[in-house]
């Protein structure tokens, strides 16, 4: 079965500081991985996705993530946090081994301190 673990349900960073949100997956075959962002009372919006074309993936709003097979990780980073980055972030995995369902982590709430 697929699973996704997001370490740290709450992360706080200062404005301008590095953002690092962690995601580890378990899969018997290399999966497809996604990061989503959710603002209060809204749906999820795709930030970026890994589909095996390149291990370093660039997304919207200055975010990027690196797929590391040896560590089964897909951590999300942004060099300099902005106040508008405050939101909930979800990592998700999808694999043909499990009927192409999406499996989501429990989310990380990012707070940006001015």
Token pair for residue 15? 């404005």
Contact 33, 25 (CB under 8 A): yes
Residues 6+ apart with CB under 8 A from 7: 22, 24
Q: Decide the pairing of beta strands 108-113 and 56-58.
A: unpaired
| 27 lines the binding site for other proteins (CB under 8 A) | no
- For other proteins, the closer CB: 42 or 80: 42
Q: Least distance (Å) from other proteins to the CB of residue 14?
A: 25
Q: Which stretch binds other proteins (CB under 8 A): 19-27, 41-49, 63-71, 76-84?
A: 41-49
| 94 lines the binding site for other proteins (CB under 8 A) | yes
- Residue 18 CA to its chain's centroid (Å): 15
Residues that bind other proteins (CB under 8 A): 9, 31-32, 34, 36, 41-46, 49, 51-52, 90, 92, 94-96, 99-102, 104-107
């Amino acid at each position: 079965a697929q699973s996704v673990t997001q370490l740290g349900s709450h992360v706080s960073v200062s404005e301008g500081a590095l953002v690092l949100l962690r995601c580890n997956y378990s899969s018997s075959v290399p999966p497809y991985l996604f990061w989503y962002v959710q603002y209060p009372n809204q749906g999820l919006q795709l930030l970026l996705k890994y589909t095996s074309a390149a291990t370093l993936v660039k997304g919207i709003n200055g975010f990027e993530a690196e797929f590391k097979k040896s560590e089964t990780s897909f951590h999300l980073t942004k060099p300099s946090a902005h106040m508008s980055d405050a939101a909930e972030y979800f990592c998700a995995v999808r694999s043909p081994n499990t009927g192409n369902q999406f499996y989501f982590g429990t989310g990380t709430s990012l707070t940006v301190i001015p």
